[in-house]
Amino acid sequence: MSAAAALLGYLCWNLVYAFWVSPLAAYYKLRRNGFGGPAPSFPLGNIKEMRTIAKLTAVSSSGGAGISHDIHSNVFPYFAQWQKSHGKVFVYWLGTEPFMYIANPEFLKEMSAGVMGKSWGKPRVFKQDREPMFGNGLVMVEGDDWVRHRHVITPAFTPSNLKAMSSLMVESTTRMLGEWDALISSGVPEIEVESHITATAGEIIAKTSFGVGYNESGRMVVEKLRAMQLTLFNSNRYVGVPYSKIMCPRKTLDAKKLGKEIDSLLLSIISTRKNNLNITTNNNKDLLGLLLQENHADGRLGKTLTTRELVDECKTFFFGGHETTALAISWTLMLLAKHPEWQDELRKEIKEVSKDKMVDFSMLSSLKKMGWVMNEVLRLYSPAPNVQRQAKEDIKVFDRTIPKGTNMWIDVVAMHHDRTLWGDDVYEFKPERFKADPLYGGCKHKMGFMPFGFGGRMCVGRNLTMMEYKIVLSLILTRFSFSLSPSYDHSPAIVLSLRPSHGVPLVLRPLV
């Protein structure tokens, strides 16, 4: 009986420690370092308040002429409200986990100064929650392992390797445009292009990452990753609350099941490619082929990736590679549909650069105006609406110290829509702001524009995204003009990424 009582007491103490003692200690430590914020109520922290604020906020605006690009108060209503009381740097709580909210670029600059990429990690709660989707891929891995992963992966994104992938992008996009032609010829009045773009981006990433057709394993991986995304988003309402996965057992099991199915598919692809590694084919120019070659070459240096790590990197490529690009193109089509003058500007530029030939890799760097448009789209509707970090060491910021282990939530949407950084036209679609300043668009602080993250952990695949964006958009613009359908409902929403929750229906008109 005494042993049972001791065990019960031990379990009770662990619960009390996890739910109240540990978070209270962290709360007062942060307060002593000068970081305030909305008052938490453990063990839920600020989750209940966040839900209440979100429910009271209208998340949809009317389509057509009433479209507003002032989206921060819709997609992150609680942060917009708390900023008014606590400024642009404060601490809020997801369950018992403190998160330092940051929308101040000068604070971010000071925080990042002199801190190596490997000194930043990912919040533990997000690593655990999203493990079935990303595992220990480059997005989540930390420390010396991050350095090793980065060393193996970076060479895959050299210009010569990217050039070899461009023809695959043209091939998949041309197929999609043929489908649009067929739909228009059959009398379909409008096309919901976001779903088509997403499917084509999935096809492109299947080919460029793994050398597999979209009607093979590629489609299955993309579909299961999409299902995983929805499952994780729907089940992460209590992220940060101890033992929260026990409260959502079905969704936890669904995520694990999907994770195992995805792993099995990717292991099969990797095994086949390993067996054919010494066979010289065009497929060896896809990301997996390049990764396997680099892995083989670095074996003597002890810098290889294990098969498990290769699977996790494949999942990261699949999700990040098609999601970010598809959303950037979808938001671009919406904005160009509202601004036909920019459709004309881009068509003129494409014609001048291509001399009426098919756009290829060598021409992409000359599409300057398209680069302005891309940056302006990523400013207004960044597919990656936030960046998360965890301090792996104490970090001095001005006269305050961020304690080791503190989670950070960097609000990209807030900084991209900050009037003090961008001026009174902050909510207007003005690609020309990037003409004189192609990198920062005239932003008053260089840390105020970060479509691909910042510092040493900036997105390694950003050049692949920019290449695919320009190729796909060029092909669309040379084949069609388009306008927004009256049925378009402007409802940006966060489902890990920033996406149009009701798609992007367009009225398309063939140009040839």
Question: Residue 368, Cβ neighbours under 10 Å: how many?
Answer: 13
Angle at 59 between CA 87 and CA 462, to 5 degrees: 70
Phi/psi of residue 453, each to 5°?
Answer: 90, -160
- φ and ψ of 346, to 5 deg: -70, -40
CB crowding 327-339: b at 16 or more within 10 Å, else e: bbbbbbbbbbbbe
User: Could you tell me how far CA 200 lies from the centroid of its own chain?
Assistant: 18
Number of H-type helices and E-type strands within the chain: 21, 12
| Joined tokens for residue 383 | 């597919």
Q: Assign residue 50 a region (left: φ > 0; alpha: ψ between -120 and 50; beta: otherwise).
A: alpha
Q: Phi/psi of residue 97, each to 5°?
A: -105, 120
Q: Which amino acid is at 163?
A: K
Which residue type sits at 199?
A: A
Identity of residue 124 = R
Spell out the alpha helix ranges (H) of 141-248. 143-153, 159-185, 193-210, 217-235, 244-247
Cβ contacts of 244 within 8 Å, gap of 6 or more: 95, 238
**DSSP bridge partners of 451:** 453
What is the spatial distance between Cα 447 and Cα 461, in angstroms, rounded to a whole number? 20
Q: Which structure tokens are listed for 411?
A: 């609000």
Q: Are strands 480-484 and 120-121 parallel, antiparallel or unpaired?
A: unpaired
Helix axes 287-297, 143-153, angle to 10 degrees: 110
Tokens, residue 397: 């910021």
Sign of CA dihedral 427, 100, 27, 76: positive
Annotated binding residue 248: no
Give me the long-range contacts of 42-45 (CB less than 8 A, separation at least 24). 42/93, 42/95, 42/96, 43/18, 43/19, 43/95, 43/96, 43/241, 43/242, 44/95, 44/238, 44/241, 45/92, 45/93, 45/94, 45/95, 45/96, 45/97, 45/240, 45/241
Q: Which residues are annotated binding-site positions?
A: 459
Q: Which residues are annotated binding-site positions for heme?
A: 459
